[in-house]
Structure 1
Amino acid sequence: MNSLRIALVNDYEVVARGVVGMLRSYQSRMNVVELDLNKRVGEHVDIALYDTFAATRGDRAAVQELAANTLVETVVVYSWNLDPAHVQAALADGAGGYLSKGLSASKLVAALESIHAGGERIHIGGTGKLTVSAGDWPGREEGLTEREAEVLALITQGFSNAEIAERTHLSINSIKTYIRNCYRSIGANSRTNAVLWGIEHGFRPDRVRIEHPEPAPGGEQVMARA
């Protein structure tokens, strides 16, 4: 079977790079041809894998835009929001599949292949629990969880707690808890301090296309930017 041509779609380079790292051992099956950070997919791909981390454009609009792109054969949403209504909304908006971010790399690859072959469209893992975080995200080295980092990214971009709750499909109380945890991890004592810290530590969205990421000696990634 030929390897699938994949475009990784997200607003943050570190997040997209993290998924590339997950797929590195499966290059014979997954060919990541570009990373699209606030850019339209620029060449034909079998799958556009849309990572919903800090989905500042809104999940629905982004999925609809990807589904309308004639260069994209199938859109697959990659998320930790496993609410059935949200999953069905993504499929209604044009997604051809929906994957949990709790899947291991091997299960992620198998799920993508299954979706492309016309098999099961929804893959959330055996338990549906989102306790496993794979890939990478801004703030990981400072001790932020992926969910905390997502909330901080949205704070950095000026969203209110209510807007963040709407975008992440979490309750206001959950958002407040994540914010407190963020403040503790980064040593901030106010929202202004947190925003300044976020700006200094890569929490603003990127806007670039990175074409044909290839593993370099030592496992590092060499990216050609467009």
Structure 2
Amino acid sequence: MIVIVDERELVTDGYSSLFDREGVASTGFKSGEFGEWVSSAADADLKSVRAFLIGDCGSEAVLPRAIRDRTGAPVIALSEQHSLENTLRLFESGVDDVIRKPVHIREILARIAAIRRRATDEQKPTEIGRMRIFMDGRDPEIDGQPLPLPRRERRILEYLAGNSGRRVTKTQVFNAIYGLFDEEVEENVVESHISKLRKKLRERLGFDPIDSKRFLGYRLVV
């Protein structure tokens, strides 16, 4: 999920619409609401955030270093002032990147992916048995051969791999794939996605690598 912070609802709604077209969950906050949320949100909720986009929030209304106290997700400033002084000020405030507007939504996603690759070992695939699972949008491989998956199923597999050995609840999976505040999609859709994913993995592997327990959630069998 991408979190967008801007005082203008028109801006947050616009970006959310563009991210939705790319199949990426997002939500928008005004700076006051965001400050309250980021300080009190559960760790599991913050873990579902891929990046924070900080737009027009007033002077020092949103402090990137305060976000750092809760999560290591990339913090990117969206700047409408094309000046060196403003860019330097934003970097000094603690952001990971400064993007000058206007910008294509795919460039934002590419920059987020690049920052996450540098900050973590996500460029290295996760090896689980005969599976090789990438964290950069590529299809997983089984026995060295790609397994084409729809976007939602691939993201679920990536999320399970990122929590390898730990059990995650249906709510956690839903939040990671659809976002924390998507009220138009029922949480039970996760069960349908996982059922289809399990069938494809079982056909290729010969067994079901996703262990599920009612009320406890899912985990990949390591």
Q: Which has the higher contact order (CA 8 A, sep 6+)?
A: 1
When the two structures are superposed, what TM-score results if normalisation uses the length of structure 2?
0.44
Larger Rg: 2
When the two structures are superposed, what TM-score results if normalisation uses the length of structure 1?
0.44
